[in-house]
Amino acid sequence: MLKDKINKGWVGRVFADRRKSERRSCHGAAKIQFGVGSLPRDCTITDISDGGVRVIAENLDVPEEFTLILSTGRPRLCRLAWRIGCEFGAQFIDHLATAPSQHSSPRGSARTPEYA
């Protein structure tokens, strides 16, 4: 019954979309690292925006802050926003302290550089 409600958009109405930038759907491999010297673990990114990411990672106890290594090898510092089972959302916090790169994609671009 819950699966039917999810498929019909019921969950989307309950949880308001508070993103400040457009979300782009993707299915990209990435690595998650929990501190300096720890081994990166495999994960899958299901969607990404300029401000954050949704990730699937099984059997991981995700800390408040961690590094996500995108398929391009670019590391992003993240803060855990929510978690349900093996799926979680995170905000990119490295962009808060630095200016945007000259190589970033234009705002209207439908392609995500990390997965283009």
Q: In the chain, what are the domain boundaries?
A: 20-98
Rounded CA gap, 55 and 69, in Å? 12
Q: What is the pLDDT of residues 47-58, one digit of tens each?
A: 999 999 999 999
Q: What is the pLDDT of residues 86-105, one digit of tens each?
A: 999 999 998 765 444 433 43
How many CA atoms within 13 Å lie on the side-chain side of 5?
A: 7
Sorted by sequence, the CB contacts under 8 Å of residue 27 that are 6+ apart come out as 44, 45, 46
Predicted TM-score (pTM) of the model is 0.64
Among 2.40.10.220, 1.10.150.130, 1.10.357.10, 3.40.50.300, what is the CATH number of 20-98? 2.40.10.220
Q: What pLDDT band is residue 36 in, cutting at 50, 70 and 90?
A: confident
The DSSP bridge pattern shows strands 41-48 and 24-33 to be: antiparallel
